[in-house]
Amino acid sequence: MKIRIKDNSVRLRLTMSEIDKLGNTGEVASRTEFINQPFVYRILQTDTEELIASFVENEIVIGMSANMVKELVATERIGFDGQSGPVKILVEKDFACIDNTLEDQSDNFPNPNLKC
């Protein structure tokens, strides 16, 4: 899972296997190991209807409704956006890049802009 943070905006991009895991378990998480403590970012399936965000003890938690998770897993829908307080949230599928990159993209969704 990739995270991009800019000011009051948080964007999470999930690979195919991460979308599957979210659908099967209701949770997916990633972490970055800093010297003194990890930074964790997680998506949890919740009972809320809107995207929600919290930040507690070096962990960002994004809550998504079961309906959102189901739609993300079972349809061509690319993602969901919302706002939690002042924080704008975007959760979306991670597509393969069109231009060359050294990053492993084998688990990314096929890019709809590529004619393969």
Structure tokens at 35: 């010297």
Q: How do residues 29-72 score in pLDDT, each as one tens digit? A: 999 999 989 999 999 999 999 999 999 999 999 999 999 999 99
pTM value is 0.82
Q: What is the pLDDT of residues 80-104, one digit of tens each?
A: 999 999 999 999 988 765 555 556 6
Residue 5's SS3 state is strand
Provide the pLDDT for residue 42. 97
Of 23, 61, 26, 19, which Cα lies nearest the Cα of 40? 61
**Strand 59-65 relative to strand 52-56, pairing:** antiparallel
Per the DSSP assignment, residues forming a β-bridge with 92 are 13, 79
**Burial status of residue 61 (CB atoms within 10 A of its CB: 0-12, 13-18, 19 or more):** middle
pLDDT for residue 110: 58
Contacts of 34 (CB under 8 A, 6+ apart): none
CA 93 to chain centre: 7
3-state secondary structure 22-89: HHHHCEEEEEEECCCCEEEEEEEEECCCCCEEEEECCEEEEEEEHHHHHHHHHCCCCEEEEEECCEEE
